[in-house]
Amino acid sequence: MMAMRGKKAIRIIVSTKVALTEPLLALVNNYVKALRFALFWSKENAENSNEKGVLSSVHEALYKRLREEYNLPSEVAEDCYRDALSVQGLV
């Protein structure tokens, strides 16, 4: 994370401990599987990043599937396909 002090940027590192629970591990595992799926899907289907409405078409194609098949919460499903698009360089 970067913060600004005047014209100079300072680096801020935040560290926290999180207790590993079964629901958290399940979420992480589901996210990894969903991200892998979204990466393969975007490689095959979202080829033209200059095309208007890429994000909305990807949302339409993937959101419901990520929510239902991978049991992801709403915001996590959106982050998942956006992460896949950013890795592919489409957004």
Facing residues of 10 across strands? 3
3-state secondary structure of 21: coil
Rounded CA separation 69/91 (Å): 24
Query: Could you read off the pLDDT of 30-55 as tens digits, one per residue?
Result: 999 999 999 999 888 866 656 677 78
Is 85 a residue whose pLDDT tops 60?
A: yes
What is the predicted pLDDT for the residue at 7? 74
Rounded CA separation 65/47 (Å): 20
Is 89 a residue whose pLDDT tops 80?
A: no
Using an 8 Å Cβ cutoff, are 9 and 2 in contact? yes
Task: Note the pTM of the prediction, 2 decimals.
Answer: 0.74
